[in-house]
Chains A and B, each alone.
Chain A
Amino acid sequence: MAALSLRSRKTSPTTTEHDLIAGKRRRKIREALTGYLFVLPATIVTFLFGLWPVVAGFYESLKSGSPITNKYVGLANYTRSLGSLVYIILFALCAIFVLLAYRSWRSAFAHSQQVGGNLWPYVIPGLLMGAALIALSFILVTGIEGYAWFPLLLIVAALGGYYLADQLQPGGGEGIARRVALTWGGLAGLALLWWGGPAVIRRLGLGGVGWLALIVLFAALLYWLVPRLGRIRTGSYVGATALMGLLTLLAILLALYTIDQMEQSTAQARHLATVIFNQRVLEGVVDVPDDSVRLRGLAFESGAVMVEVKIKGKTIQAPLAPEVYNELSLDKIARLEAAFASNQKVQVILPDGTLAEGQLTGIPQGEKLFVPFLTEGARAVRQVDIYSALDVGEAVVRNGGQTEPLYKQVYAAVGVLVGLAAVLAMTAVRRQVDDERPRLYRWLHWGRVLVGICVFFMFIYLVGAAQLNQQAAAGMGALSQEQFALAYEYATGTPAPAILRPEILKAQLLYWPQVFSVAVGAALIGAAYLVWQGAQRRETPLGFGATILLAVLLMVGGWMLISELPRTLELGGRETQEAMDALWRTAMYSMGTVPVQLVLGLFLAYLLFSEVKLGKSLYRVIYFMPYIAPSVATSTVFLVIFRMDASSLANRALGLFGIGPLTWLKEPQGIFRIFYEQVLGGNPLSIPDSLAGPSLALTSVILYNIWVFSGYNAVVFLAGLGAIPRELYEAAEVDGAGRWSRFRNITLPLLSPTTFFLSMLSVIGTFKAFSHIYVLRGQATGKEVDTMSVHIFQTLYAANDPGYAAALAFSLFGVILVLTLVQNRLTREQVFYG
């Protein structure tokens, strides 16, 4: 205050003018205070129950959430529903953060270049400020006490840095830093008073006077600070670098966190793969001399492949992974059968790792057949083989289920990125120094080649590591639950826990290969885009064609790698399946409802607007009624209308057309199948699953939704139609435009803002829809109409799993955000504002 009034005195020498300005300022401050007072109640409630829950809910989604063991579990809740997709999304977020940070920096840098300033001194304070903000929000969210000094210290350091940077500017700087520093200093003072004040008063025993003084001090500081807060402008160097620092650090922290989570979630699977697929567990258990082992032959016994092995004169029969042979691998059986039948030479790796050979013929030249048994000594050979290399693949057994640790791969990935950047940088420098310094020119060339080779090897290492993971996962996936339990028990000495299933371990082992392949795919597509753009600079048609071809190849390759993604979700087990089904149903519900109700609403509104003079508001009242009526009540009515028994209204209405009674809300069959069966009289199963359409149950809910919202859309469209100037129509009529042409060329374009608003609202609405679906689903066990919202609510309410429910809710939130952004982008060009 003092500094400011001093400055204003400088600009205004006469006292009256000064008083005028001071009075104006005081009035402005009072006005602002009134404003804050007015919005305060609504703000408190909105922040407490509308915004804070988003933060708290995200924290909640990282915890197990059960009332008894409410402990932190990291991303486990997300991987339960999304599998490795979570990691892909998080890495993508990191990339987006980095991109945004870069853009923020670049715009500030361009500005500083223009005005001849120097941005670099601001970078370090920016990073400090980002770190301070992150630390502060972390402390606020987790409620850790006693560490508040840390972000405060960082803020103070950052402010000092900003002040110095401002001083370093050639033209004396923007002068912003001083103001910002004062404001931030004020904020820090407030925080200091808030946290430290009570302690000081209590320590000194000041009592009531001390409290009063503290409150007065606090209020005074607040009074001084409030008008200043509004003056902080972003877009300055300070704002840009703070944003850049925040985003960069966020990206780094997020990446580290994601890698850590991934390591943790795959550690168990990796360890088990090593334990289970490692042959060393058998060492020293049996001691069988080479020559005493002979393979006798092959026999079939009720579908299982039996091998007779002669060990020390005793003939032992052993089934070769009967579960697998019973099912599908017929070609393997055939090959083995052929081999055995024609007395070819067969090698058997015995439990102790020695090779045993049998005489076989008929196997293609040079091919060896490994039949290693993982058994508990010779005795167990008789009982049951846990698995053979034919089941899980030789490669897994040969590698002993080894996989590379994640952190090494991350180093390699970072190395690849840094190497690529280095190659690009060297190329750029080389182009500049061209002829001036031939020595450097040559060095750069060789350096580039060297780094390129390193990058290539690191990439090969990454591919190999991903391959290892994939092999182990394939091996794990080939085990049946019983085989897995046996192997686990044999390897660890303890019985396998019931929740540990090979499918889950397989999915976990595949996390990294999937993330890797998607990342490489995305990089390839990015490269394809660059190459495509570069193609325009090519001069010869041949060069142009080759570049285009390269771009297309890169694109196809990238796409093939990315298309790995859907398989990720298939692997995730029951919960992922449920979540994806719910999401798919929500999408169907949205697609089934929104277009129909928009078209119907527009149709009704158009008829009402253009042709109806009498009774318009009566129609409007009626059309609006379903929307205004409480949805619990109206959906109860529809619950009764769509009852299963033949006397329900819906079935009687269908009966008029001679279509048999349907089960409506309990019917999981797709509507096209039902149509094919009931109306065309065909076999419903001849329509494939993908064309069966939404289930009849979901269609019933869609019908209800259309009934509720078409009228609302009509009323809103009606308001939009009323805003279109009449003269346009009259002019068009004079020009001889017909009804359709007027509708097409005047009404639709001028109505597009309304249409955009309504479609946005409807899509978000269908994704949020809850209570009518919840009533219409009844309390049945079927899940035909469980959209994502209902699924989340059931997870919370019926299954009492708040952590997982929160994770699902955030996934839904993400989907809604992406949808909104995409819709916004897609329709931006179509919407015509005035």
Chain B
Amino acid sequence: MASTTQAGTRTVVAVETVAAPPFRRPGLRLNPFRVLVYVILTLGAILFVMPFLWMVTTSLQKQGDIVRGRLLPSQQFISITPIEEADLHRTMQDFLDSGHLPPYLRDVRAQIEDSQLKRSLTLDEYLRTQRIGYASFSLDIDLPLLNRLFTVHQHYVIVGGAAHYVEAWNESNFSKYFFNSVKVAILTIVGQTITSILAAYAFARIEFPGSNLLFSVFLATIFIPTMVVLIPNRNMVNNIDKFFSEEFPARQDEWGITEARRAIADPIHDALEAVGLDDVLGLGSLFTVSGPIRWRWMDSWPALVVPFLASTFSIFLLRQFFLQIPEDLWDAARIDGAGHLRFLWMVVVPISRAAIVTTIIFTFIGTWNALEWPLLVTFSDKWRPISYGLYAFTTEAGANVNLLMAGSVITLIPVLLLYLVAQRQFTEGIATTGLKG
């Protein structure tokens, strides 16, 4: 992470040194004012970064450290010990009697010997109650497509600060939420990028009657507060289920969809079933003729994805960028016999990678961050995103601040990584498109 930042910075600095006018000497002239400015800026930067650092250190701390108000963790970062599952259920007394106390408990041997209560606990219970940072981690490898060829099942005891992450990931269901969010984000990004590029291109390059009016209507949606559209959208998502289960089956013969399903969907369904992917994304019933189509949106991915398949912000950003592409390119492409779609795909998209990356990052953040909408349309953990998971965890975690912070770090890392990797294109995108005019 850190190395990425530095590498990115170095290249940028190099570019700027080259870009500076030759008569001005690059580098630092140390007048007192400049030193003062650097001090102020650095102090500001420390203030800006502090909550992040504090989040990481807290997530690695023991409960006691947090209460005592330490800033840095006192415990080791990580120690992984393989363990038999049976050992977890042996009491501490057994370990003491056999003389093989686990190595990570040697420091507290005296305490365990002194306390009757502690001696009667099993290893699992002891590690849990003492909150010394423990996670039992089992490695399962199974390949469902190949009918479970082999399975490895091994327990590990992880002790130290990193164990909080394992605990949050496994036991507080963060793994489930995390991958839900990833799936939703990927679907949203793919869909939204396609619609936005097409629409932005049309607004920037194609003349059609009413384009200005349509574009201002799009822009007007920015002023509409989320709360206004939240309620009817929930109703709509709720009622689409009714449409697919009541109105649609009644009319699909009339609309000729039954034939279409028999002709097209059935073979697809057979093929998918052969591969074992017949219920990917819950679309299984769409590809079959037996019975009515059931396509629930509520508490499933369409509710989380479909309303966000178009974004005014992305369209606006991309349009601003596309407008700057010189007209000559289009003329040249035209002479070569390219149509709009071909020009868009071969020329415009490669040129505007920075802007597209910017919109992708913003879309990703938006999806990753969405809280009110998932709260309204999901009822089970099946599709609940990570923002929901973290929000629910803020009340469940109680005093386990370290676990909460570990959850926050887990939530934060993908976004931060994406940002740091793409930050040059990102700032370029913001600077060139966001604010001209």
Contact = CB atoms under 8 A, between A and B. Distances in A.
Interface stretch (B121-129, B287-295, B371-379): B371-379
A608 to B, nearest CB: 7
Interface in B1-55: 5, 8-9, 12-13, 16, 20, 26-28, 33-34, 37-38, 40-41, 44-45, 47-49, 51-52, 54-55
A56 B235 contact: yes
Contacts of B26: 613
Contact of B68 (A607, A647, A770): A647
A31 interface: yes
Contacts, number: 303
Given A617-B12, A637-B408, A771-B371, A629 B394 contact: no
Contact of A49 (B28, B229, B435): B229
B182 interface: no
Contacts of A44: 310
B195 interface: yes
A638 B58 CA distance: 12
Contacts of A817: 223
A779 interface: yes
A722 B431 contact: yes
A471 B77 CA distance: 76
A45 B375 contact: no
A45 to B, nearest CB: 4
A34 B340 contact: yes
Given A35-B208, A632-B390, A805 B231 contact: yes
B387 A51 contact: no
Given A60-B235, A715-B427, A611 B34 contact: yes
Contact of B310 (A28, A38, A41): A41
Nearest to A47: B217
Interface in B189-238: 194-196, 198-199, 201-203, 206-211, 214, 217-218, 221, 223-233, 235-236
* Residue in B5, B55, B365 whose Cβ sees the most chain A Cβ within 10 Å: B55
Contacts of A643: 401
A50 B209 CA distance: 22
Given A637-B408, A652-B69, A31 B207 contact: yes
Nearest to B376: A797
B369 A39 contact: no
A716 B69 contact: no
B394 A611 contact: no
A422 to B, nearest CB: 42
Contacts of A614: 13, 27-28
B104 interface: no
B315 interface: yes
A193 interface: no
Question: Chain A contact residues: over half helix, strand or loop, or mixed?
Answer: helix
Nearest to A717: B435
A629 B227 contact: no
A722 B208 CA distance: 35
Interface in A782-824: 788-789, 792-793, 796-797, 802, 805-806, 808-810, 812-813, 816-817, 820
B251 to A, nearest CB: 11
Given A35-B211, A621-B423, A632 B391 contact: yes
Interface centre among B38, B365, B372, B390 (most CB of A within 10 A): B372
Interface in A357-405: none
Contact of A42 (B48, B235, B310, B371): B310
Nearest to A761: B222
A559 to B, nearest CB: 31
A813 B231 CA distance: 14
Nearest to A616: B16
Nearest to B369: A630
Interface residues of A, number: 103
Contact of A227 (B45, B209, B211, B223): B209
A41 B198 contact: yes
B233 A813 contact: no
Interface string B49-70: 1011011001000000011110
B195 A625 contact: no
A640 B409 CA distance: 13
Contacts of B387: 630, 632, 771
Given A45-B310, A640-B401, A757-B435, A768 B195 contact: no
Interface string A599-630: 00000100110011111111111111110111
Interface residues of B, number: 104
Contacts of B226: 768, 770, 789
Contacts of A767: 225
Contacts of B208: 31-36, 230
Nearest to B37: A611
Contacts of B228: 53-54, 57, 806, 809-810, 812-813
B306 interface: yes
B372 A41 contact: no
A604 B42 CA distance: 11
Interface stretch (B91-99, B105-113, B147-155, B411-419): B411-419
A632 B411 contact: yes
B365 A628 contact: yes
A711 interface: yes
Given A618-B9, A722-B431, A774-B371, A604 B224 contact: no
9 contacts: A49-B307, A53-B228, A630-B412, A631-B369, A632-B371, A636-B411, A647-B67, A719-B434, A809-B225
Given A41-B310, A616-B13, 5 more contacts: A50-B229, A53-B229, A611-B33, A621-B423, A630-B411
Interface of B: 5, 8-9, 12-13, 16, 20, 26-28, 33-34, 37-38, 40-41, 44-45, 47-49, 51-52, 54-55, 58, 66-69, 194-196, 198-199, 201-203, 206-211, 214, 217-218, 221, 223-233, 235-236, 256, 306-310, 312, 315, 339-340, 361, 365, 368-372, 375-376, 387, 390-391, 394-395, 401, 404-405, 407-409, 411-412, 415-416, 419-420, 423-424, 427, 430-431, 434-435
Interface of A: 28, 31-36, 38-39, 41-46, 48-54, 56-57, 60, 211, 226-227, 229-231, 604, 607-608, 611-626, 628-634, 636-641, 643, 647, 649, 652, 707, 711, 715-716, 718-720, 722, 754, 757, 764, 767-768, 770-771, 774-775, 778-779, 788-789, 792-793, 796-797, 802, 805-806, 808-810, 812-813, 816-817, 820
